[in-house]
């Protein structure tokens, strides 16, 4: 391809990706959604969000924010394209509303329809970003729910992976805004915060607490303060400091009360117990006290507010602390304080009490009588309690791992089935030698594939997974969305491994639910003596090439025209017949039923001639390293028994197996292994001759003549 054309192609690709990940609403459209007294303001310059103000609180500033998820969290969906949700949160991090703007999930486009998805997102209203929000499913939920700090949303049957991605999208976008505009800390940057050990207690006096650093202490003398103000308008403005340079300006004390060793020593056992009852899960209590000429709080202090001259930071980020209005006695052995209080830090602030905390006290001096010039200087107390006082809880698992935990019974059942299938394919002679035994095993396994893997566990692999992966990678995203569908991922992994050992037929012949359904339809048709039609070899070859053309068209459309790909994948009836169990509008049902009906006359017609996923599987089967279907020297020369009985037309006149067309039904293996059905063995027996007890494999010719 010439360089100019390549550059034009790359530019077109970038434009398509940009269009797929851009917000779509205007200010006018948003204002129509939020009626007075609420008003949507113009979008901010530093963040793609629209502030919401209220006529009832004209001086309060924004009472909430509204934004499109695709601007903040363009997480690829199951189909590969990020969905776009309109999310509105209030100034405390509560959800006002969540609305679906645009989505490309196959199960919601024309399968279940968008109604279940819209009902799902309505559950966010009234919930909060301060809560742990997870999604249940029809396969069980491993997380407790129904508390103030943990919420479990009702999932959508047959769309478990998609709604988990919706949840991740809502939370990721909401937290991005909450951290930027609402002061939420980002605990995920360093994992879960430490918790005080309730079982660890030492009875220590106040002096020992100070010596070991369990209570932080900062002393500022007059001389030190004068040095801080040197060269400013505040220099020399404090006559008391000049008169007594060695005297104390302020003694600042800090203690972390959640730790029993500190809390019980400062408050006493009874008041400590009262405090622990008052604190909610994840909240922290700090004891602050001052002595000397500067007080922590004064007569103008408003209870329930932060201390006016003292601030707390951690890792460079501000942490708000508020007066708890908690009366308490002075600690035994402590000096006389001019002020003392208990202050609360809320859970969403993200404070980690086991990490260093910085308490900054602002010192103020005024110079002049009429229009005094005010000067501020700060001093900082670094405080870090002993690490032994804390324990770090295990980091909560990612949402995709929760999905795996919730599906472990299904994964175990499917894993055992795959193990059994592997054992049978590794040594197929015993099962296949008896035709009735093979039919029983195959029909039972295919019934498991159809009912359990397909209709129940929703493990039908689809061409959508290939086109979705292409869209995701084209958009510069990773394939993490595949982790939300553990059953499909397990089957994908097994199928990829099987390519190297047995070829494409392991999936197409044993693990495809729609393929199993087609086989049962064909068996029923044969029982009912429905006339069977074998296509001429030339026609079959032309039709076979058609599935590769479909695959190529789908791959190109996924990369260059994603909207077109969404329609083209409907050539595959898997979603209609398996994912939603024919619960769909009539054109899709008619197409699926029509293909099944065609398979009643022409054995597995769709699988052999139209399936684009089957074409991809065939290409994957090129990785096969073994010719594991054994043959005799007499196979095809002259014996044609297996070729005539193979309903897939996968055996050449020469007797060689065309692995590209083989669905591994094992019929030819059974004939080969059964001396009562293998024609060469029967012939030799009639002539009184014997054949070698072990088959002689010949190299299979995969390429057609």
pLDDT in tens, 696-705: 444 444 443 3
Mean pLDDT value across residues 150-156 = 81
292: β partners: 250
pLDDT of res. 301: 85
> Predicted confidence band at 182 (pLDDT cuts at 50, 70, 90)?
confident
Mean pLDDT value across residues 49-62 = 84
Query: Pairing relation of β-strands 339-345 and 357-367?
Result: unpaired
Six token digits for residue 302: 């408003």
DSSP SS3 for 401: helix
- Spell out the residues 6+ positions from residue 266 whose beta carbon is closer than 8 angstroms to its own: 215, 255, 257, 287, 328, 331
pLDDT over threshold 90, residue 318: no
Where does 157-204 have alpha helices with state H?
Answer: 160-181
pLDDT of res. 185: 62
Give 694's DSSP letter. Answer: S
Tell me the pLDDT tens digit for each residue of 644-699. Answer: 888 888 888 888 899 999 999 999 988 888 888 888 888 777 766 655 544 444 44
- Pick the closest to residue 120 from 139, 132, 103 (CA basis): 103
In whole angstroms, what is the distance from residue 465 CA to residue 616 CA? 11
- Pick the closest to residue 122 from 76, 162, 163, 61 (CA basis): 163
In whole angstroms, what is the distance from residue 508 CA to residue 659 CA? 12
Query: Pairing relation of β-strands 150-153 and 195-196?
Result: unpaired
Higher pLDDT, 150 or 368: 368
pLDDT of res. 688: 64
pLDDT of res. 700: 42
- Pick the closest to residue 504 from 418, 624, 665 (CA basis): 624
Tell whether the torsion through CA atoms of 434, 438, 444 and 445 is positive or negative.
positive
> Predicted confidence band at 292 (pLDDT cuts at 50, 70, 90)?
very high
Backbone angles phi, psi at 456, to 5 degrees: -90, -60
> Predicted confidence band at 81 (pLDDT cuts at 50, 70, 90)?
confident
Higher pLDDT, 542 or 689: 542
Question: Contact, 39 vs 55, CB < 8 A?
Answer: yes
Lowest mean pLDDT among 226-230, 234-238, 440-444: 234-238
In whole angstroms, what is the distance from residue 558 CA to residue 571 CA? 14
Burial label, 551 (beta-carbon count in 10 A; 0-12, 13-18, 19+) = buried
Please list, residue by residue across 321-358, b when 16 or more beta carbons sit within 10 angstroms of its beta carbon and e when fewer do: bebbebebeebeebeebbebbbbbbbbbbbbbbbeebb
pLDDT of res. 517: 96
In whole angstroms, what is the distance from residue 443 CA to residue 427 CA? 18
Mean pLDDT value across residues 281-309 = 88
Query: Pairing relation of β-strands 150-153 and 95-102?
Result: unpaired
pLDDT of res. 76: 79
pLDDT over threshold 50, residue 176: yes
- In angstroms, what CA-CA distances link 302 with 73, 299, 307, 322, 340? 40, 8, 9, 10, 14
pLDDT of res. 12: 40
Long-range contacts of 700-705 (CB under 8 A, 24+ apart): 700/627, 700/629, 700/631, 700/656, 700/657, 700/658, 700/659, 701/652, 701/654, 701/656, 701/658, 702/622, 702/658, 702/659, 702/660, 704/541, 704/652, 704/658, 705/652
pLDDT of res. 154: 87
Mean pLDDT value across residues 522-535 = 91
Mean pLDDT value across residues 290-295 = 92
pLDDT over threshold 60, residue 139: no
Please list, residue by residue across 516-529, b when 16 or more beta carbons sit within 10 angstroms of its beta carbon and e when fewer do: bbbbbbbeebeeee
Number of CB atoms found within 10 A of residue 119's CB: 11
Mean pLDDT value across residues 60-87 = 86
What is the pLDDT of the chain when averaged over all its residues? Answer: 85
Task: Mark residue 214 as left, alpha or beta (left: phi above 0; alpha: psi -120 to 50; beta: remaining).
Answer: alpha
pLDDT of res. 348: 67
Range with top average pLDDT, 104-113, 214-223, 644-653: 214-223
pLDDT of res. 8: 39
Six token digits for residue 502: 């047995």
Number of CB atoms found within 10 A of residue 100's CB: 17
Could you write out the DSSP letters of every residue in 286-354? EEEEEEESS-SS-TTPPTTS--TTEEEEETTEEE--EE-----PPPTTPPPPSEEEEEEE-GGG---TT
Burial label, 368 (beta-carbon count in 10 A; 0-12, 13-18, 19+) = exposed
DSSP SS3 for 281: coil
In whole angstroms, what is the distance from residue 624 CA to residue 641 CA? 26
Lowest mean pLDDT among 19-28, 264-273, 333-342, 677-686: 19-28
pLDDT over threshold 50, residue 147: no
pLDDT of res. 403: 80
In whole angstroms, what is the distance from residue 591 CA to residue 607 CA? 14
Range with top average pLDDT, 130-134, 326-330, 446-450: 446-450
Q: CA 335, 336, 340 angle in degrees (round to 5)? A: 105
Task: Please report, rounded to a whole number, the percentage of residues in the chain having pLDDT higher than 70.
Answer: 90
Question: Contact, 296 vs 290, CB < 8 A?
Answer: yes
- From the CA atom positions of the chain, what is the Rg in Å? 36
Tell me the pLDDT tens digit for each residue of 452-502. Answer: 999 999 899 999 889 888 888 887 777 887 888 899 999 999 999 999 999
Query: Pairing relation of β-strands 339-345 and 284-292?
Result: antiparallel
> Predicted confidence band at 15 (pLDDT cuts at 50, 70, 90)?
very low
Six token digits for residue 115: 């109604």
Question: Contact, 271 vs 328, CB < 8 A?
Answer: yes
Tell me the pLDDT tens digit for each residue of 570-589. Answer: 899 998 999 888 988 889 99
- In angstroms, what CA-CA distances link 7 with 3, 339, 667? 6, 70, 53
In whole angstroms, what is the distance from residue 495 CA to residue 671 CA? 26
Six token digits for residue 389: 């006082």
pLDDT of res. 564: 86
């Amino acid at each position: 391809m010439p360089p100019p054309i390549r550059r034009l192609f790359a530019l077109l690709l970038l434009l398509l990706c940009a269009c797929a990940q851009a917000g779509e609403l205007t200010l006018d459209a948003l204002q129509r959604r939020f009626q007075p007294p609420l008003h949507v303001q113009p979008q901010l310059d530093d963040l793609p969000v629209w502030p919401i103000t209220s006529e009832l609180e004209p001086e309060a500033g924004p009472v909430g924010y509204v934004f499109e998820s695709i601007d903040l969290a363009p997480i690829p969906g199951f189909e590969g394209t990020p969905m776009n949700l309109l999310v509105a949160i209030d100034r405390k991090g509560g959800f006002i509303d969540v609305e679906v703007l645009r989505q490309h999930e196959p199960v919601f486009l024309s399968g279940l329809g968008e109604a279940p998805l819209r009902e799902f997102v309505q559950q966010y209203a009234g919930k909060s970003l301060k809560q742990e929000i997870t999604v249940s499913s029809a396969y069980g939920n491993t997380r407790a729910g129904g508390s103030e700090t943990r919420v479990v949303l009702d999932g959508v049957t047959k769309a478990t992976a998609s709604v988990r991605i919706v949840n991740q999208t809502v939370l990721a976008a909401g937290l991005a805004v909450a951290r930027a505009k609402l002061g939420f800390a980002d605990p995920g940057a360093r994992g879960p915060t430490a918790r005080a050990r309730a079982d660890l207690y030492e009875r220590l006096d106040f002096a020992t607490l100070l010596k070991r650093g369990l209570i932080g202490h900062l002393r500022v003398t007059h001389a030190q303060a004068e040095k801080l103000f040197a060269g400013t308008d505040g220099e020399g403005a404090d006559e008391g400091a000049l008169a007594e340079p060695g005297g104390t300006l302020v003694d600042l004390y800090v203690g972390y009360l959640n730790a029993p060793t500190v809390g019980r020593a400062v408050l006493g056992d009874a008041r400590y117990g009262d405090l622990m009852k008052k604190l909610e899960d994840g909240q922290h209590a700090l004891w602050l006290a001052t002595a000397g000429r500067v007080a922590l709080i004064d007569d103008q202090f408003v209870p329930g507010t932060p201390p006016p001259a003292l601030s707390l930071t951690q890792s460079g980020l501000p942490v708000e602390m508020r007066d708890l209005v908690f009366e308490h006695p002075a600690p035994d052995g402590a000096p006389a304080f001019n002020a003392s209080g208990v202050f609360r830090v809320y859970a969403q602030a993200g404070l980690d009490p086991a990490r260093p905390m910085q308490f900054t006290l602002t010192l103020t001096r005024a110079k002049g009588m009429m229009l005094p010039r005010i000067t501020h200087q700060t001093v900082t107390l670094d405080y870090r309690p002993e690490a032994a006082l804390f324990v770090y809880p295990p980091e909560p698992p990612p949402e995709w791992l929760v999905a795996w935990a919730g599906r472990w019974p299904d994964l175990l059942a499917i894993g055992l089935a795959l193990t059994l299938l592997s054992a049978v394919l590794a040594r197929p002679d015993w099962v296949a030698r008896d035709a009735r035994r093979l039919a029983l095993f195959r029909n039972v396994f295919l019934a498991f594939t159809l009912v359990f893997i397909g209709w129940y566990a929703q493990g039908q692999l689809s061409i959508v997974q290939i086109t979705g992966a292409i869209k995701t990678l084209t958009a510069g995203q990773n394939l993490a969305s595949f982790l939300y569908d553990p059953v499909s991922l397990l089957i994908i992994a097994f199928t990829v491994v099987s390519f190297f050992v047995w070829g494409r037929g392991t999936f197409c012949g044993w693990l495809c639910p729609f393929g199993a359904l087609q086989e049962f339809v064909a068996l029923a048709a044969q029982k009912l003596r429905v006339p069977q039609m074998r296509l001429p070899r030339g026609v079959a070859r032309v039709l076979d090439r058609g599935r590769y053309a479909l695959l190529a068209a789908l791959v190109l459309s996924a990369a260059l025209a994603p909207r077109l790909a969404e329609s083209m994948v409907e050539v595959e009836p898997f979603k209609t017949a398996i994912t939603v169990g024919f619960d769909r509008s009539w054109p899709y049902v008619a197409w699926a039923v029509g293909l099944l009906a065609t398979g009643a006359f022409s054995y597995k017609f769709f699988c052999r001639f139209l399936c684009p996923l089957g074409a991809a599987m065939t290409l994957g089967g090129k990785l096969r390293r073994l010719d594991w279907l054994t043959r005799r020297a007499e196979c095809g020369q002259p014996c044609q028994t297996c070729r005539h009985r193979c309903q897939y037309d996968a055996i050449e006149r020469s007797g060689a197996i065309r692995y590209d067309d083989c669905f591994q039904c094992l019929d030819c293996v059974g004939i080969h292994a059964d001396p009562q059905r293998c024609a060469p063995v029967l012939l030799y027996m009639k002539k009184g001759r014997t054949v070698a007890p072990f088959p002689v494999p010949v190299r299979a010719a995969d390429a057609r003549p």
